[in-house]
């Protein structure tokens, strides 16, 4: 009986929820408290290191269990750090793969409206790099 902890800047779609339950065998989806969610969505761009800032996020991850899935998407550096941290905790970090459709609409002589529509395809596990011999 695994759980899915969500570190994500968006709301999970019904398709993502269904896949989590059906394919991953998730019995419970756990969203972070408002403090953690707000921090994750608003990480400052002007700081050189994130470890100290991510402390509330790491504390929240510490409440998970070995084998739990953790959906991690957002700031590249924060994702990298939290993926590595999740591996250390024995969790299974994943991310959502998507298909993207772009539409352009000319709205005036000098303006174009560009819209991106993302459709969930599947969850993919982050892979922990293990150095192997080159072939």
Each of the 135 residues of the chain gets a pLDDT tens digit; together they read 799 999 998 899 999 999 999 999 999 999 999 999 999 999 999 999 999 999 999 999 999 999 999 999 999 999 999 999 999 999 999 999 989 888 898 989 889 988 888 888 899 999 987 655 555
Structure confidence at residue 117 (pLDDT) = 82
- Per DSSP, the residues of 60-124 read HHHTS-TT-EEEE-SSHHHHHHHHHHHHHTT-EEEEEEEEEEEEEEEEETTEEEEEEEEEEEEEE
Structure tokens at 1: 């009986």
How many Å apart are CA 85 and CA 75, to the nearest integer? 15
| 42 Cα distance to chain centroid | 14
The ranges assigned to domains in the chain are 2-125
């Amino acid at each position: 009986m695994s759980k899915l902890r969500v570190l994500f800047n968006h709301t999970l779609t019904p398709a993502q929820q269904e896949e989590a339950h059906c394919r991953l065998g998730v019995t419970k989806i756990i969203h972070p408290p408002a403090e953690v969610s707000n921090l994750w969505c608003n990480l400052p761009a002007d700081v050189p290191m994130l470890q100290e800032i991510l402390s509330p996020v790491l504390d929240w991850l510490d409440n998970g269990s070995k084998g739990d899935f953790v959906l991690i998407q957002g700031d590249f550096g924060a994702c990298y750090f939290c993926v590595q941290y999740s591996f250390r905790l024995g969790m299974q970090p994943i991310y959502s793969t998507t298909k993207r459709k772009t539409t352009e609409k000319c709205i005036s002589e000098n303006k174009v409206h560009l819209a991106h529509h993302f459709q969930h395809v599947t969850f993919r596990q982050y892979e922990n790099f293990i150095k192997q011999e080159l072939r």
